[in-house]
Structure formats: structure tokens, C-alpha cells
Structure 1
Amino acid sequence: MDLDLRKLRYFVAVAEELHFGRAAERLHIAQPVLSRQIRSLEEELGAEVFDRGRRGTALTPAGKQLLEDAVPLLASAQALVGRVKAAARGTRSLTIGFMPGITVTPAMTAFTAQHPGVQVRLLRTTWDDQVDVLLDGRADVGIVRLPIDRQGLDVRPLFQERRVVMLPVGHRLAGRKSVTVKDLAAEHLLQDPDAVPEWRDVALELRAGRRPDVPVIHQVEEKLELVAAGAGICVLPLSTANFYTRPDVIPLRVDGIGPNDVALAWVAARRSRLIRDFAVAAADTLAASHAEDPSTP
């Protein structure tokens, strides 16, 4: 069965609006036409994607799965069209996703020396979207911080960097040169405990097996605001801590916490020579450019 991308776009509009009338207005089509297209899609899939009840429109489990897969698929298709049009115009480009704190310049310099006619674009990513931008085509290749969901991706290790704990300047431990995981176990961690398993395991032991409650905070800026206010601590890669330098928060070395792994990733199905050449340039340059200064905390 071949999926009709137009019907998928119709589906996504209804799934996001959860209202056929509003979705039809958004798509600039008549509501009966939209309803017929969704019914046709359900027949092709062999599953109902919407529960059309008295209380309104809701996604079925099949619909939730379809929405999860359809959004990146449509974005990827749009990116494909863009690449084809660019190739037809005789222009080539490479978009590189990168996480804050990671310096991409050495790899870009090496790559552009080999491909002077290629337009290189940079896309700043976050922990939440560093994989999404690859799957939906916004970036051709990404410099990512592990762990990530590797499904459908080719992942190549680049380097490791030390992680530090961020504390407010008035914290009881702020005067030390380094701390241990046990020193931090009673602190409120402002991130997913699974992202810092060393802290999680010690905290669980000291709290008699009860998993610590942690709010969902995704942005580094927000975490640091809370750290500065004394609401908790967070653990960051050293380069990220240096990127977000501020006077009311300090980084400290933590004995017993492993490093952050940085890798290069791209969609495994892509067969682009530009991606392969950038991978070589990144492997040759980025480890050296992120070598740790012994004077850092």
C-alpha cells in the first residue's frame, strides 16, 4: 500500500485541531471532502484513527501512532522536495544540527575546503529535538549528545567531555574545588534522574528506594534560573556550562559522574557524499578542538 501524503496532511490537521470543521477551514477545503478523505485513509490503513463520539473528536491508539510517525514523514518529504529543487538549480547545501557548547567551526572549515561550492547552514538544537531535526529533514547531519534513540540513525562517536554540577554561588559546597556524588545526593536535581544515573542510584539508596520526584524541565536556561534561585542543582557537559556562563551560578567538578558522549548522527537511509565527507571532517577535527583545558574546574 502506498500512503497518500495529501491524506496524511489532512489527517495531521484534524489530529492537531481535534475538530473537523476547524481543520477544514485551516486546509481551505469543504468539511464533507475532508471527512471523505479521512474515511478513505482509514480504509487504506485498515484502522480507525479517530473516535468520533458525542464528546467530540479524539485520537484512537492507531491515530496516536499515525500522528507520531506522520509529522516527521511529512517534514522529511518536504525536505526532500527542497533538496531536489536545490539540485535542479545547481546549488548544494548541508545543514548541520549542533548542541549548545559544541564548536563546529573546525569541522566546517575542513569540509568547506573540500567542498567550496556547498552552502553550509547551522541549526542549533536542544535535548528534545536533536534527533527530530534529522528525522524530519531540517538537518542533514547532527552533532548530538548521547544517549539518543538510535532507531533509523547512523551514529558515529566523536569525543567525550567531562560533566560538572551547577550550584548557586551561595551554596554550602560552592567553596570546594570538587564534590562527590554522595555530597549531592540530598540535593534536588532539576533534570531527569536517568540522565545522571550515578546521582539517581545514590539518591535511591539514601532515600530507601523511593525514586526522587523531578519536574520536567527541558531548557538549560530555565534550569540555570532555578539553580541561581536555590531551587536545585543540575549536571551539564563542561562546554555547555561554559557556554551559559553567569555570575550567580558556578560549575564544580564531580568525582564519580561519567562523561558525556558526543557523536555524529544522520538518517541511515541517506546516501549523501556530503554527509560522509562531513563525518570524516568532524572525526578529524572536533576531538582535538574540544580537548579539555587542565585549568578548567
Structure 2
Amino acid sequence: MDLDLRKVRYFTAVAELLHFGRAAERLHIAQPVLSRQIRALEKDLGAELFVRDSHGVRLTDAGQQLLDDGRQLLTAAEGTRRRVLRAARGPRRLVVGFRAGITVTDALRAFRAEHPDVETTARRLEWDDQEQLLLDGTLDIACVRSPVREEGLELRPLYTESRVVMLPSGHRLAGKPDLSLADLDGETWLRYSLPGPGDLPVRTVEEKFECVAAGTGITLVPRSVAAQYPRPDISYVPVTDAEPDQVLLAWAAGRRSPLITAFVAAVQSLG
């Protein structure tokens, strides 16, 4: 049995919204058509994907599993489509991603020196889209920061760097030569990932700056971020026992691209 990607896309819309009517609107199809497609998918798989009752719509265990796997499947299919179109259209093009504080300028110069006929583009990415943009084909390769969801990616460690704490300039610890994590006990922390109790979520480095400067919370950043983004209302202090930040080169697993191979070589040539 071949899994129909169109049906999986329909299923994913319903699973995310848990409402057939709103899912049909998102997909621009009639609700009866959507319901028939979902029933056909359940028949194909031999499993019930939704529980439909007076309380609404909810996923079965089988439905939750298909949602987890289906998102990855659709992302991989979209990545394949983009790469095929890119190969068919030409000219040759390489899109390189980078996180805040990471400089790819020298690597791009080295790559262009060897491949002057290739169009290159650098694109900034954030912690929550660094994997997605590689898997869906938006980026060819990227310099990312840990933690990284490894599934579907090839990863090559590049280097580590120490981290510093961002404090508002009027903070009691601002201007100290260095600190330990114990010195920061009781502070409100800003977090990229899902926050713990008392932590505040942020998405970008710029959001961190504004929150720290306003006294909302504090956070750790790589030393390179501190060097690239000095601000008079923020103090950066080294934290001696903070876990180092890991920078890695990442690209979609299984991609056979001489341009990716060449860019990896360009990065490695810089030491």
C-alpha cells in the first residue's frame, strides 16, 4: 500500500485543528470531501485516526503516531520537490544559514573563489527553525547551535565557545570580572526552549536584548554574540562554569550535492 501524501496533508490539517470545518477552510475544499478522504485514509491504514463524538474531535493513539510521522514525511517531500526544481531550473545556487553570532563570510569567500559561477546567499535563522529550514529545502547547509534535533540531518562539529551572562547595566552583578552559575541563583531566566517554572520564553536574540535591558530577566549567550552586539544598557559577564556553546555544520541527510561538499571543504580549510 502506497501512502497518499495528499491524504496525509488533509489528515494533518484536521489533526492540528481538531475541527473538520476549519480544516476544510484551510485546505480550500468542501467538508464532505475532506471527511471522505479521511475515511479513505483510515481504510488504507486499517486504523481509526480520530474519535468523533458529541465532545468534538480528538486523535486516537494511531492518529497521534501518524501526526508525528506525517509532519516529517510532508517536510521531506517538500524538500525533495524544491531540490528537484532547483536542479532543473539552474543556475547553480547555494543557500547557507547561520545563527546569531556565527560569521560565514570567510567561508563564503573561500567557496566563491573556487566556484565563481555559483550564486550564494546567506540567511539568518533562529533556534526554532534551524532544522526545519534544512529539511524542507529552504537552506542547503547551515551553521547551527546546539541543541539540534538530529533526525534527518548530517552534523559536523566545528567548534565550541564560552558563554557570558547578559545583565541590565544597573544589575548588582554587572561589571564583575566573572561569575559562576551559583551567583545567579534566584534570577528570572529567559529561555529559547520551553521554559521551566519561573522562566520566560523568547525566540530571537533581539527579544533577549530588549527583555534584559528592561530588567525582565537574564540569559546566557555565546561570547561571539556579546562581541557582535554591544549595548550600553547591557553588561556581559563571563560565567566560568556555564556549559560551552557548540557550533555545528548541518545539512539534510542523504543529500548528494557537490556544492555542499565544496562548502564543507571551504569551512574546513579555514581551520
Amino acid in the other structure paired with 1:117: D
Cα separation, partners in 2 of 1:136 and 1:63, compared to 1, 3 Å: farther
Shift of 1:220: 2.5
**CA contact 1:72–1:136 (8 Å) conserved in 2:** no
Q: Which moved more, 1:89-98 or 1:70-79?
A: 70-79
3-state SS, counterpart of residue 271 of structure 1: coil
Q: 3-state SS of the aligned residue for 2:119?
A: strand
Task: Say if 2:162 is the partner of 1:162.
Answer: yes
CA deviation digits over 1:154-197, x for unaligned, max 9? 111111222111111111111322222222223222227999xx
The number of residues matched between the two structures is: 271
The alpha carbon displacement at 1:216 in A equals: 3.0
Separation in 1, partners of 2:99, 2:38 = 39
Give unmatched runs, 5+ long, in structure 2.
none
* Deviation for aligned residue 1:237: 0.5
The equivalent residue for 1:97 is: 97
Q: Is the 8 A contact 2:153 2:250 kept in 1?
A: yes
Identity of aligned residues (%): 54
Q: Distance in 2 between matches of 1:170 and 1:69?
A: 48
Q: Partner amino acid for 1:16?
A: E
Match of 2:226 in 1: 241
**Residue identity opposite 1:278 in structure 2:** F
Matches within 5 A, 1:42-81: 42-81=42-81
What is the one-letter code of the residue matched to 1:130? Q
Measure the CA separation in 2 of the matches of 1:82 and 1:193: 29
Unaligned runs of 5+ in 1: 196-210, 288-297
- Quickly say closer, same or farther: Cα 1:65–1:213, change in 2 above 3 A: farther
What does 1:158-197 correspond to in 2, within 5 Å? 158-191=158-191
Counterpart contact for 1:193–1:214, Cα < 8 Å: no
TM-score, with length taken from structure 2: 0.89
| Structure 1 residues 268 and 22, CA gap change in structure 2 (3 angstroms) | same
- Scaled by the length of structure 1, the TM-score of the pair is 0.82
Paired position in structure 2 for 1:292: none
Whole-angstrom distance in 2 between the partners of 1:122 and 1:264: 14
Structure 1 residue ranges (4+ consecutive) displaced by more than 6 angstroms after TM superposition: 192-195
Residue type matched to 2:6 in 1?
R
Structure 1, residues 41-93: CA drift from partner, whole Å, max 9, x if none? Answer: 12223332222221222233333333333334323323322322232233222
After TM superposition, give the deviation of residue 106 of structure 1 in Å: 0.9
- C-alpha root-mean-square deviation of aligned residues, in Å? 2.4
Residue 227 of structure 1 is aligned with which of 207, 212, 222?
A: 212
- Change in 2 beyond 3 A, CA 1:216/1:59: farther
